[in-house]
Amino acid sequence: MNTTLRQKKVASLIKEELSRLLIEGIQDSTSGLITVTRIEMTPDLKTAHVYLSTIGCKEKETVLDLLQGKTGYLRKSIASKVKLKYNPMLFFSYDPGPDYETKIDKLIESIKKNEK
């Protein structure tokens, strides 16, 4: 997927603001630590796909439901801080990258143990 410089800049601005909002208003003891790993913008900048990872949360679907319920609040807060022609729709999903990294680390460790 070729992303333009404009898409990258808008994604960076939204990621910064969304991360701040998550820290200040959304995270609690039940949701654990929520991290925005990346944001992908559509070419028309009307849709943002937000990829998340969590630490300390056993129910990932609960966190997604929580964020989907607060989408209106998050969009309004982002629109007040980031001045754009269109306020993008936010779609949340989990980033599989950290899970893959953990799996690969475990495989490497098991290989090292078998070599000894």
Asked whether residue 1 carries a pLDDT value surpassing 60, the answer given is no
Asked whether residue 29 carries a pLDDT value surpassing 90, the answer given is no
Euclidean distance between CA atoms 59 and 4, whole angstroms: 35
Q: What is the pTM of this model?
A: 0.79
Domain ranges across the chain: 5-115
Q: Are 28 and 66 in contact (CB under 8 A)?
A: no
Euclidean distance between CA atoms 83 and 78, whole angstroms: 8
When pLDDT is averaged across residues 3-16 and rounded to a whole number, the result is 92
Q: Residue 64: what pLDDT?
A: 85
Question: Tokens for 70?
Answer: 């607060």
**CATH architecture for segment(s) 5-115:** 2-Layer Sandwich (3.30)
Q: Is 94 helix (H, G, I), strand (E, B) or coil?
A: strand
Query: What are the pLDDT digits (tens) for 59-76?
Result: 778 888 888 888 999 999
Higher pLDDT, 78 or 56: 78
